[in-house]
A and B are shown apart, each in its own frame.
Chain A
Amino acid sequence: MAESETTVSLLSKEGALQPSESAEEFLPYFERLTEDDYRQFFTDMSVIRAFDVEATNLQRQGQLALWPPSIGQEGAQVGSARATRAQDHIFPAYREHAVAMIRGVDVLGIIELLRGHTHGGWNPAETNFHLYTLVIGSQTLHATGYAMGVNLDGACGTGNPDTDTAVLVYFGDGATSQGDVSEAFVFAASYQTPQVFFLQNNHWAISVPVSTQSRVPLYQRSRGFGVPSTQVDGNDVFASYAVTAKYLDDARSGRGPGFIEALTYRIGAHTTSDDPTKYRNSDDLAYWIERDPIARLEAYLRGLGADDAFFAGVREEATDFAADIRRRTLTLTSPSVDKMFDSVYSEPHPVLAEQKEWLERYEATYADPAAGGN
């Protein structure tokens, strides 16, 4: 499942700009980036990695129920997220922490979700970044339906870059086996939705290797459904940006759906509950660590003249970000019982009203020793 000559790449693993032949049609999208953009990408990736490390520590210290790290996948996430426009809508799976941050979500919301305070964590209307979906693959159909709505509203293909809208949906290599994902391709093709399917092939679905999900490279999957596709080196943030930018442009212009497979690797465990030593060897890991998206961009930036002061500044920003998350996590207070009963329906509901009242009365008998509780 490693890259081939069809895989689009721009930055070599040593950090040299060496576009693959297959990158040609995407080069114009790369070329519109400035050195400031490169630095922004570097900062994004560094900050979210520090966030991931801090969240993992918080879980180890009993502050979170679970943590799914995105370490190693920052190139695919930052490149694709930076290619979106404000009006685009994003449907994540549950590991897209960098995408959330770039869209302006307060990522403390992700912490609250995994601390067991909420099933949501943010309001998608504020950032067009929808809630995490934990049931594998389901969100691909939601994205397709949303994109059908964009079509019905005439909100794509008008030529107005400020309003033409695309929908971007993230999912994993394991998810490609779910019926929902195939159905999403069918609907997307049928209704020519303004939509980009973005697969992060991190090579694992918990302990199951991608070879169990597919005998052919996954980017080929969508073609039989009539959805054009490209495989990209997901640890190359430039290539991830350029390919996503082109696909989003096509979607916004009314040219229908597309599918991107970003080759990357889950450097960490599936979640903090997982033990990868049970099922994978360290050779693979070493291969992918050599292709780290952050180290690669650092080498490139140094070649352009970025100095130690710049990198020290980024490190400081990342450390501060993580420290702020830790500080705010420790001040979170437990959710109130309202969370359990309110918003189950959009209007007051007699059964839930009665049960909530019962629970409040019942709890009160325990709070008040005179009432006879213990």
Chain B
Amino acid sequence: MADLTTMPMAKALNAGLRKAMQDDRKVMLMGEDIGALGGVFRITEGLQAEFGRTRVLDTPLAESGIIGSAIGLAMRGYRPICEIQFDGFIYPGFDQITSQLAKMTNRHEGQVQMPVVIRVPYGGHIGAIEHHQESPEAYFAHTAGLRLVSPSTPNDAYWMIQEAVRSNDPVMFFEPKSRYWPKGEVDLAASAAPLHASRVVRSGTEVTVLAHGAMVSVLLQAAEVAAAEGTSIEVIDLRSLSPIDYGPILESVHKTGRLVVAQEAPGFVSIASEIAATVTERAFYSLQAPVLRVSGFDAPFPPAKLETLYLPDADRILDAVDRSLAY
């Protein structure tokens, strides 16, 4: 039986974290300003008051310290959930994530597990200053040993954060910060899909469009406009960036013969590039047009006044849809 309630993603994450902490007393939170302040986005609001300072740690200001010590805590049997304050501040922790956390299980030939979750608010659309609007997921997807996911709705956020915490591998949990506040329905009774499943969120027949995180809502907007103009678009929410669940994607492409992959991140060596290559390899004879990518430009994320030019919007998606249909 569904148990439906409406809340924004920020609250859904908060509820999911609370649930994860209630379910397993080894689960703990670490990060900058996550205690009394509840994090700069208030995702952890109230959790330190509820679970105490030993389970919700306001850490010193050091990302390498946060990730590196989470590794040690995991070795000791804890399940740390680390918050990185903003996408662009993850890099001081890069060595600990990519050379240490990602490889620990492999180096131990499976004798050690790393149930560490790293939450990363990411992406643009918030008009913020430098380092606060980036999409760094490809750096991490390139590293074996890390799982990467990104919810696009409050319901997925609620369930995926709990599943991420249950994973015995490190999970990078990318939170589309521009989607923190719009409300959506959350079913507290049952999860909609497994952690690493991609999903059709709007069905259509002529072109498949695919994205993750905040870009999914842009695709849905584009699909709405296209429908009014008589074009039927199928929208897929990727949800998992590593591994990628190709089943629903290939099934959709076999049906439509056309695929547009969108992302906020720069296009060069990106998640979209990977999907384009794989779909071309596996569905070549179904494709009526080359797989097209719509991405941020291969330039640093610009000053906020230029962000609307940088970030793909519904028009840029529709432009690609038109180009795909023109083949």
Contacts and interface: CB of A to CB of B under 8 A. Distances in A.
Interface in B31-52: 32-33, 35-38, 40
Nearest to B225: A374
Given A207-B35, A207-B37, A177 B309 contact: no
Interface string A197-224: 0000000011110001100000000000
Contact of B36 (A174, A205, A279, A359): A279
Given A65-B127, A174-B61, A340-B310, A207 B36 contact: yes
B92 interface: yes
Interface in B291-315: 297-300, 302-307, 309-310, 315
Given A119-B130, A212-B58, A337-B309, A207 B33 contact: yes
B58 A178 contact: no
Nearest to A66: B129
Interface in B107-152: 127-131
Contacts of A340: 297, 299, 302, 306, 309-310
B60 A212 contact: yes
Contact of B88 (A135, A175, A352, A366): A135
Interface residues of A, number: 43
Contact of B61 (A65, A205, A366): A205
B302 to A, nearest CB: 4
A355 B298 contact: yes
A175 B62 CA distance: 8
A116 B131 contact: no
Nearest to B131: A134
A260 interface: no
B304 A178 contact: no
Contacts of A335: 303, 305-306
Given A177-B61, A177-B65, A359-B309, A279 B298 contact: no
Contact of B303 (A116, A175, A359): A116
A178 B300 contact: no
Contact of A279 (B37, B64, B299): B37
A273 B40 contact: yes
A208 B40 CA distance: 12
Nearest to B57: A212
Contacts of A115: 304-305
Contacts of B297: 340-341, 352, 355, 359
Interface in B268-327: 268, 297-300, 302-307, 309-310, 315-316, 319
A278 B65 CA distance: 25
11 contacts: A178-B62, A178-B92, A206-B37, A208-B33, A208-B60, A212-B58, A279-B36, A340-B299, A340-B309, A355-B297, A362-B316
Q: Considering the complex of A and B, which 7 residue pairs feature the smallest CB-CB distances, nearest first?
A: A116-B304, A207-B37, A177-B60, A174-B61, A279-B36, A340-B302, A177-B62
Interface of B: 32-33, 35-38, 40, 58-62, 64-65, 88-89, 91-92, 127-131, 268, 297-300, 302-307, 309-310, 315-316, 319
Given A65-B128, A119-B130, A136-B61, 5 more contacts: A205-B32, A212-B58, A339-B306, A340-B310, A359-B297
